[in-house]
């Protein structure tokens, strides 16, 4: 247990330079855009010069770039992520409003990715070179090749326009009581079955679209890893002892977890970043749609806030993945 604690401390300290790097890169990239955001914030070319100068002073854009960076880092580490000039609210308040929608979408997509992708890979490995294996490989190829926005439009056409089974846009209806900001979960917590079904219908198409793009990668990694494990001597010994079915699958999966966890963690991170495209197509009011609006309006504080949030999420996912490595394989702690 002491080894795991020391490992956690080492990994936590190693992420601090990464966070600082994300902050600096985000700030520099957003500030070298060849455009004048202040004029956009002030209302366009009809804005009065005194209003433009006031906004420039308020957001420290009248200072040298290095001074702006120091002020920005000081604010961020103080818990102040700035105020959006478009919404006129603190960026953290905007993120708190929009992020639950993206988190809900990512959780459902991650669950679909896990409960479908891993069994697909195991079945393909155990049925190697069979019709089932080839069919799963074709699905995996389509999943890794199809652009997310194209798949989203195709699913909308099939399930909304042609079949009329699922809604094409919007998030659904918020429950009467807000517990988490996630409509599906809050519908369960309030015990409203009809509202739960309605909100579940709204989230199905965008979550399936997000999950499908990573489904092929997960299935292929699980298949290749499981094939290596299946050919191991301990699996032959397990078969000789009479293990089969779920018992045998459990042994194969447990010894295939390290590479699977790596790819699964990356895919969950990509789900969050890919949500920007999917939320735009499905008019899903999450952090992705908020980011698109911020980019269109050159909203520096919002752009940097969203980028920092996604960077922190990736760092957190990598941290959890590293801890999972250490728990599964003690050799990693060394």
Same domain, 191 and 207: yes
Same domain, 178 and 58: no
Contact 309, 99 (CB under 8 A): yes
Same domain, 303 and 291: no
Same domain, 168 and 37: no
In a domain, 155, yes or no: yes
Q: Is 233 exposed, middle or buried (0-12, 13-18, 19+ CB in 10 A)?
A: exposed
Range with lowest mean pLDDT among 151-160, 161-170, 217-226, 323-332: 323-332
pLDDT for 45 equals 64
Percentage of the chain lying above the pLDDT 90 cut? 1
In a domain, 287, yes or no: yes
In a domain, 245, yes or no: yes
Same domain, 72 and 203: no
Tell me the backbone φ, ψ of residue 293, rounded to 5 degrees: -65, -35
Instruction: Please say if the pLDDT value at position 199 is more than 70.
Output: yes
Q: Give residue-wise pLDDT tens across range 10-47.
A: 777 777 788 888 888 878 877 776 666 776 676 666 76
In a domain, 30, yes or no: yes
Alpha carbons within 13 A on the beta-carbon side of 112: 21
Instruction: Please say if the pLDDT value at position 159 is more than 70.
Output: yes
Angle at 71 between CA 69 and CA 72, to 5 degrees: 60
For 150, other C-beta atoms within 10 Å of its C-beta total: 11
Same domain, 69 and 135: no
The token pair that represents 237 in the structure block: 């010994």
Total domains in the chain come to 2
Instruction: Please say if the pLDDT value at position 98 is more than 60.
Output: yes
Contacts of 175 (CB under 8 A, 6+ apart): 183, 186, 187, 189, 190, 192, 195
* C-alpha distances out from residue 293 to 28, 41, 263, 289, Å: 20, 13, 30, 6
Q: In DSSP terms, which residues pair with 90 in a beta bridge?
A: 83
Range 229-252 average pLDDT: 65
Q: Is the dihedral of CA 23, 27, 28, 33 positive or negative?
A: positive
Number of helices (H), then strands (E), belonging to the chain: the values are: 14, 0
Same domain, 35 and 53: yes
Cα gap 95→302, rounded to integer Å: 9
In a domain, 91, yes or no: no
Same domain, 173 and 212: yes
Contact 198, 173 (CB under 8 A): yes
Contact 126, 226 (CB under 8 A): yes
Q: Is 331 exposed, middle or buried (0-12, 13-18, 19+ CB in 10 A)?
A: exposed
Same domain, 5 and 102: no
pLDDT for 82 equals 81
Cα gap 118→125, rounded to integer Å: 11
pLDDT for 151 equals 86
In a domain, 92, yes or no: no
Same domain, 183 and 304: no
Phi/psi region, residue 43 (left: phi>0; alpha: psi -120 to 50; beta: rest), is: left
Same domain, 288 and 311: no
Alpha carbons within 13 A on the beta-carbon side of 237: 5
Cα gap 84→92, rounded to integer Å: 9
Q: In DSSP terms, which residues pair with 83 in a beta bridge?
A: 90
In a domain, 255, yes or no: yes
Question: Nearest-CA neighbor of 59 among 301, 295, 297, 298?
Answer: 301
Pairwise pLDDT comparison (19 vs 187), residue with the higher score: 187
Q: Give residue-wise pLDDT tens across range 285-328.
A: 888 888 888 888 778 888 888 888 888 888 888 777 777 766 76
pLDDT for 4 equals 66
Tokens 């669950």, residue?
111
In a domain, 328, yes or no: yes
Same domain, 32 and 146: no
Range with lowest mean pLDDT among 7-11, 136-140, 200-204: 7-11
Residue-range definition of the domain harbouring residue 152: 97-296
Q: What is the domain-level CATH number for residue 115? A: 1.10.3720.10
The token pair that represents 129 in the structure block: 């070179």
pLDDT for 131 equals 86
Instruction: Please say if the pLDDT value at position 2 is more than 60.
Output: no
């Amino acid at each position: 247990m002491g080894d795991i604690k020391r490992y956690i401390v080492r990994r936590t300290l190693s992420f601090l330079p990464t966070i600082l790097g994300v902050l600096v890169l985000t700030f520099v990239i957003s500030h070298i855009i060849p455009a004048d955001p202040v004029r956009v914030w002030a209302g366009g070319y009809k804005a009065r010069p005194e209003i433009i100068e006031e906004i420039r002073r308020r957001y420290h854009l009248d200072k040298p770039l290095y001074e702006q960076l120091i002020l920005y880092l000081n604010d961020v580490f103080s818990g102040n992520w700035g105020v959006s000039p478009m919404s006129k609210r603190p960026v953290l308040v905007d993120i708190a409003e929009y992020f639950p929608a993206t988190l809900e979408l990512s959780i459902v997509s991650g669950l679909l990715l896990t409960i479908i992708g891993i069994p697909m890979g195991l079945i393909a490995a155990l049925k190697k070179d069979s019709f089932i294996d080839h069919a799963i490989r074709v699905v995996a190829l389509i999943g890794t090749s199809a652009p997310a926005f194209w798949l989203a439009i195709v699913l909308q056409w099939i399930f909304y326009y042609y079949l009329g089974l699922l809604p094409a846009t919007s998030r659904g209806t918020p429950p009467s009581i807000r517990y988490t900001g996630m409509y599906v979960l809050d519908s369960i917590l309030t015990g409203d079955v009809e509202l739960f079904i309605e909100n579940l219908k709204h989230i199905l198409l965008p979550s399936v679209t997000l999950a499908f793009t990573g489904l092929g990668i997960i299935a292929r990694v699980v298949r290749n890893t499981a094939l290596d494990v299946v050919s191991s001597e301990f699996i032959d010994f397990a078969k000789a002892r009479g293990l089969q079915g779920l018992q045998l699958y459990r042994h194969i999966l447990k010894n295939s977890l390290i590479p699977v966890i790596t790819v699964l963690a990356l895919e969950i991170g990509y789900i969050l970043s890919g949500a920007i495209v999917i939320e735009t197509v499905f008019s899903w009011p999450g952090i992705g749609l908020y980011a698109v609006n911020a980019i269109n309006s050159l909203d520096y504080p919002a752009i940097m806030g969203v980028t920092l949030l996604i960077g922190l999420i990736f760092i957190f996912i990598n941290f959890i993945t590293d801890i999972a490595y250490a728990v599964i394989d003690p050799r990693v702690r060394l």
